[in-house]
Structure 1
Amino acid sequence: MTSSIKMITALGTPLTPEEDLHVEGLEAHLQDQLDHGINGFLVAGTMGLMQLLKERTYRDLVARSVTCNAGRAELLVGVGDTSYVRTLERIRMVEEYDIDGVVALAPFFIKYSQSDLIDYYQSLADASSRPMFLYDLPQTTGTKLEVATVLQLAQHPNIHGIKCSDHFVTIRPVLDAIGDEFRVIVAQPTLMDVLLRAGVREHLDGIYGVVPEWIAAMVTATEAEDWETLATVQQDLSALLTLLQTFSAPLFSTVTALLNRRGIPGNFAPRPMRPITEVEEAALFELPLVKKMFAGKTVTAAE
């Protein structure tokens, strides 16, 4: 994949029935992405469900990801928790590994002011031996990182960028004000064609893990300025996102079925998420869009 475009997959976390790390599943998941030209990973992000994992599973996930990746792609690790001390503890846990940065959600559960958040991130960045990235996900945390807050934090020498999962218009002023000096990594999977055509070069999402060949096709189309193909793939990607959000089974259970069909074993939906039923799974693989996903591929069911 061309280095001028950064596609970062938010990896899922494959688990055994005991909810330990499914090592073979992680290896297969990561290799599948590398085989399709993905050039970055976010481990233990929202897709990886860090907050639902046992501490040992989280540590194993980071250690094994570093080993499997072997420096082939940028490797970022989610560390965001509910308080300064809890997030710092996670940073200390992972900074012993060869990772490229830590990504911290705004603290959740309790509401914090913007001045609280500035102190939180600056203090963590001071303490971290690894580059820090902000993570704006107000839909989940209930706390928005406002533009003025991001611009102030961007002045810290160890805060290198932001992963923004809010709408693009909320982060556009940061791009306009700072440019290339501060990395803005967007999670806008329904607008990738528009943003790629406009020159936005850093993208991250969990959906890439399910259809990495579609993401590779979008990069190829962008580099060739083949806007028609780019728009066509975007339509399929948007339709898949809608399907996952509206299907009868929980999203992570549906993703588990799709990844297992790709030959990637493990359960990506820890309890209390219920598993997909046999009836739901049969219906899922009869859907035209899902058939299109696997058309021409040799698939292997994995448990």
Structure 2
Amino acid sequence: MQATKFITALCTPLNEEDAIDVAGLETHIEDQLENGIDSLLVAGTMGFMQMLSMEAYLQLVAQSVRISGSRAELLVGVGDTGTSTTLARIRAVENLPIDGLVIISPYFLKFTQAELVDYFTDLADASKKPLFLYDLPRLTGTKLEISTVLTLSEHPNIHGIKCSDHFAQSRPLLEQQSDQFRVIIAQPTMLDVLLKAGVREHLDGVFGFAPHWIRDLQTALGNEDWFAVTQIQNQFNELLAAMQSIDASIFSTTSELLNLRGIPGRMAPKPLRLLSPPQQERFRSLPIVQQAISRAALACDVPQ
């Protein structure tokens, strides 16, 4: 059986001054590595690259390199609103020992497919590091069409794509994947179905919420225990539903959950608000939340 890879899109723990909470970042990364996650995305959508100051962004990447060492593949988000701004991000981090740069489609304005080809080609030509496309049309407002991705996949410095659109839109690309062009799927609510269908590369921030469940999932896959795989999938789906049941941003409940796991810092940059005390009490009382944190024996104080 082909090896399965789970890539965690890390959160960015911040202190009250919106600088990196280094202790929180270290605990977050170690939590992933200790549970068998061997590939990390730093400063992706879950990590709020676009809401970080350049100083905090550079600190995040440098500290992530230091903490992970050579123990994990390390991908870094650099996508911004246009060619010049994204290239500035690339230049800021490309001399660090990282494995690849992940570039979301430019946002704020809408671009034609020809302009997107120019955008990614120019960046791939200029970058010292391998590039990965990132298709997230529900946030960017622009879809990377299949024909555009296929054209870009021929560039020697474009090594893959993270697909966060509906799976039906991404499925044709799986036929084009190779050692030179990786197709990484972000569909955390249907992992069991995709794994059984042979899809082997998955990336999402959800994995960071309960990485011990991903460890259990890997074990179940190794045993070809599909009933257990489905049970674990149901746990993740129930946890996501619980996080969305609170009248607050999903990033606010993410911050609360990771704090409960012993990971300090706020994962919801300002002006996003953290949960109020009544919301905290309700969230913490949910059985699936207790289940998600019950195996997290992390020796770290949880900030209140």
Scaled by the length of structure 2, what TM-score is found?
0.96
- Separation in 1, partners of 2:232, 2:136: 26
- Separation in 2, partners of 1:178, 1:3: 14
- Residues 2 and 200 of structure 2 are in contact (CA less than 8 Å); yes or no, is this contact kept in structure 1? no
- Separation in 1, partners of 2:164, 2:271: 25
Indicate the larger mover: 279-288 or 248-257: 248-257
Indicate the larger mover: 288-297 or 64-73: 288-297
What SS is found at the alignment partner of 1:256? helix
Q: 1:52-63 alignment to 2 at 5 Å?
A: 52-63=51-62
Give the superposition deviation at 1:138: 0.4
Partner letter of residue 205 of structure 1?
D
What SS is found at the alignment partner of 1:87? helix
Q: What is the aligned partner in structure 2 of residue 27 from structure 1?
A: 26
Q: What is the aligned partner in structure 1 of residue 72 from structure 2?
A: 73
Indicate the larger mover: 131-140 or 191-200: 191-200
Give the superposition deviation at 1:170: 1.0
Could you list the runs of 5+ residues in structure 2 that have no partner in the other structure? none
Map Cα deviations across residues 43-81 of structure 1 (whole Å, 9 max, x no partner).
Answer: 000000000001100000000000000010100000000
- Separation in 2, partners of 1:111, 1:246: 32
Q: What is the aligned partner in structure 1 of residue 302 from structure 2?
A: 302
- Separation in 1, partners of 2:92, 2:247: 37
- Separation in 2, partners of 1:296, 1:243: 18
CA RMSD of aligned residues (A): 1.4
Paired positions, count? 302
- Separation in 2, partners of 1:272, 1:37: 34
Scaled by the length of structure 1, what TM-score is found?
0.97
Could you list the runs of 5+ residues in structure 1 that have no partner in the other structure? none
After the TM superposition, list the runs of 4 or more consecutive aligned residues in structure 1 that deviate by more than 6 angstroms.
Answer: none
How much identity, in percent, do the aligned residues show?
52
What SS is found at the alignment partner of 1:139? helix
Q: What is the aligned partner in structure 1 of residue 41 from structure 2?
A: 42
Map Cα deviations across residues 251-297 of structure 1 (whole Å, 9 max, x no partner).
Answer: 11111111111111111111110111111111111111112213354
- Separation in 2, partners of 1:297, 1:108: 37
- Separation in 2, partners of 1:127, 1:179: 23
- Separation in 1, partners of 2:84, 2:294: 48
- Residues 257 and 276 of structure 1 are in contact (CA less than 8 Å); yes or no, is this contact kept in structure 2? yes
Q: What is the aligned partner in structure 2 of residue 156 from structure 1?
A: 155
Indicate the larger mover: 18-27 or 173-182: 173-182
Q: 1:145-184 alignment to 2 at 5 Å?
A: 145-184=144-183
Give the superposition deviation at 1:236: 1.1
Alignment of 1:293 onto 2:292? yes
